[in-house]
Structure 1
Amino acid sequence: MRFTLLFILLNFLVFSGCKQEKMHLIKIEGQQIQITDLLTSNQNIEAFVRPYREHINKDLDSVLAYSPSTYTKDDDELNTALGNLMCSIVFSEGNPIFNKKTGKNIDAVVLNHGGIRAPISAGAITTRTAYQVMPFENKIVVAGIKGNKVIEIVDFLVKSKRAHPFLGLKILLDQEYNLIEASINGESININKTYYIATSDYLYNSGDNMLFFKPNESVVNLDYKIRNAMIDYFKKVDTINPVRDDRFIRH
């Protein structure tokens, strides 16, 4: 593999005056240096880094739980066991923090299909698994939005025809992907009610074209990374058992 380093050389022209010196940029030069396999590592640096690398790898490979099967984000068209698990983790680990801060509870969770970056393979679940599935630094955010914005979420999910993970909502489509009905926590969506929707700070800030979290009635950043929530969840369970259900299906 070949890499290139680009060094930028800046030349300054210095003018001296009676009271102060003024520096002006007069030229920028660039130089490329090819990095190839012919370059050898510095053994002193390698010896210094090795114990830290081994310590980190030991932590990453520590077993937290067990997975009886392999779960991927592409297991089905509209909702997947892995996506449903991610939402359950955000809710179970995030709601106690939100409740303690506000005295309220999370009504629903909305994540994005692209945010899941790896499957959970059958066998041991480690800390490294969490980093592979969720390599980003995204934190859990809870937005208080009116029911009309929840309807916008439903419209977005219906039009996407994709397994964006969510919890708390239930969406039923016909075979042509037309909306038959939608509900939240088993009830019709009330456009005048404020619902508390947990998501990632990336999506809250309009990532993946999810524009429905703003404007809102309130927002609470739990200062809790989704990846850390995964690790905490895995530490609590012996064996995961995620399932695909009827929260988003065609009838």
Structure 2
Amino acid sequence: MAKLKHFGILNIKHYVIFITIINLLSCKNTPEHLTELTGKQLAIDSSFTSVDSIRNFIQPYHDRVESILDSTLAYAPYVISKSDGKFNTTAGNLMADIVLSETNPIFKKRTGHDIDMVLLNHGGIRSIISKGNVTSRTAYEVMPFENSVVVVELKGASLMKMVDYLIKSKRAHPIAGAQIILNNDNTVNTFTVGGKPLDKNKSYYIATSDYLVTGGDNMGFFKDAISKTETDYKIRNAMIDFFSKVDTLAPKVDLRYYQLQ
């Protein structure tokens, strides 16, 4: 009888342990998974009113940002526009020259090479620079996008594809560091980079935007890239840095890209 008694106690213990394990497993948190995502449009109209506590909390930060954006950095003695020239414009020339001057020290420090040429896109310039004070807000108006500068290594033969693209596009895409002279029948009369005739077998370093490198504006010639260097330098920041260094902005429509008559 004693053996049966102990046997029963052992069975009861095993049963209690089994039930405890089951309970513990059943109480274990089941991972949650997103099964559905819904949304609805909320119209912002006069029925919405500001919350004083939130507005008062944000106001100092808002005022600080506004003061930084509106602090005068430089002066424009006339309107700088992307529509004041057929092959090159004041705004385009300014943008391309800024990318060249501000990015080249960064690129040279990283690679030991100089940027040979800059190519941007006409459509990337989103505003004029009005006559008067130039501020950080001006840079945000001209370049509201988060595009950064990428330097692409291309052979001279690919640069000829670039020139062909510029001729066919019939738009004043900003360039710097090179000169393109067309005959009156739209054929190339002269193409120099850094003041020297193009060498089709030589590698050149072209600064452009990350948008164009990926084929934006149908600039397919960038697919020929031998190498790409990400500078992590936003074009807008380059503008602000340049504005901070100069007193007056005075870009001109010049002879970097024109057509003989």
Superposition TM-score tier, normalisation by shorter sequence:
0.7 to 0.9
Shift of 1:190: 1.2
Q: Take 1:80 and 1:167, find their aligned partners in 2: how far apart are those partners?
A: 12
Match for 2:67 among 46, 50, 58? 58
C-alpha change, 1:111 and 1:42, in structure 2 (3 Å) is: same
Matched residue of 1:214: which SS? helix
Aligned residue in 2 for 1:217: 226
Aligned-residue CA RMSD (Å): 2.3
Q: Take 2:236 and 2:41, find their aligned partners in 1: how far apart are those partners?
A: 38
Match for 2:201 among 192, 198, 210? 192
Q: After superposition, where does 1:63-142 map in structure 2 within 5 Å?
A: 63-142=72-151
Identical counterparts, % of pairs: 50
C-alpha change, 1:39 and 1:172, in structure 2 (3 Å) is: same
Q: Give the greater-gyration-radius structure (CA).
A: 2
Q: Take 2:217 and 2:48, find their aligned partners in 1: how far apart are those partners?
A: 41
Aligned residue in 1 for 2:13: none
Q: Take 2:36 and 2:96, find their aligned partners in 1: how far apart are those partners?
A: 54
Match for 1:242 among 244, 251, 259? 251
Q: Take 2:40 and 2:109, find their aligned partners in 1: how far apart are those partners?
A: 56
More helix by share: 2
Counterpart amino acid of residue 66 in structure 1: Y
Counterpart amino acid of residue 144 in structure 1: E
Counterpart amino acid of residue 238 in structure 2: A
Q: Take 1:247 and 1:26, find their aligned partners in 2: how far apart are those partners?
A: 58
Deviation digits for residues 135-161 of structure 1, max 9, x if unmatched? 111111111111111111101101111
Q: Take 1:146 and 1:197, find their aligned partners in 2: how far apart are those partners?
A: 10
Matched residue of 2:162: which SS? helix
Which runs of no fewer than 5 residues in structure 2 stay unpaired?
1-25
Of 89-98 and 213-222, deviating more is 213-222
Which runs of no fewer than 5 residues in structure 1 stay unpaired?
1-16
TM (normalized to structure 1)?
Answer: 0.85
TM (normalized to structure 2)?
Answer: 0.82
Q: Take 2:174 and 2:81, find their aligned partners in 1: how far apart are those partners?
A: 12
Counterpart amino acid of residue 67 in structure 2: K
Matched residue of 1:125: which SS? strand
Deviation digits for residues 87-106 of structure 1, max 9, x if unmatched? 11111111111111111111
Deviation digits for residues 219-238 of structure 1, max 9, x if unmatched? 11111111111111111111
User: Are residues 1:46 and 2:62 paired?
Assistant: no
Q: Take 1:96 and 1:24, find their aligned partners in 2: how far apart are those partners?
A: 49
User: Are residues 1:231 and 2:240 paired?
Assistant: yes
Q: Take 1:228 and 1:25, find their aligned partners in 2: how far apart are those partners?
A: 39
Matched residue of 2:224: which SS? coil
Aligned residue in 1 for 2:6: none
Shift of 1:178: 3.4
